[in-house]
């Protein structure tokens, strides 16, 4: 997931630098969704690692 997130971030930076602002906005939406998915995955891992603290 991190590699996908970084690739999207790079693509978004290129879109801004080349003046393709519509593509930049589209990529920002995808970056946000990917970041939220990563956060959910990390949270699930923490809950599984420390079940008593989240019971």
Q: Can you list the positions of beta strands (E) in 1-55?
A: none
**pLDDT score, position 55:** 80
Burial class (CB in 10 A: 0-12, 13-18, 19+), 12: buried
Q: Model confidence over 2-41: pLDDT tens digits?
A: 999 999 999 999 999 999 999 999 999 999 999 999 999 9
pTM: 0.82
**pLDDT score, position 9:** 96
Q: Where are the domains of the chain?
A: 2-50
Helices 21-49 and 2-17: angle between axes, nearest 10 degrees: 160
């Amino acid at each position: 997931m991190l590699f996908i997130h970084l690739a999207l971030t790079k693509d978004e930076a290129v879109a801004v630098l080349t003046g393709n602002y519509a593509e930049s906005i589209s990529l920002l939406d995808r970056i946000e969704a990917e970041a939220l998915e990563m956060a959910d995955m990390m949270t699930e891992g923490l809950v599984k690692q420390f079940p008593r603290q989240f019971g």
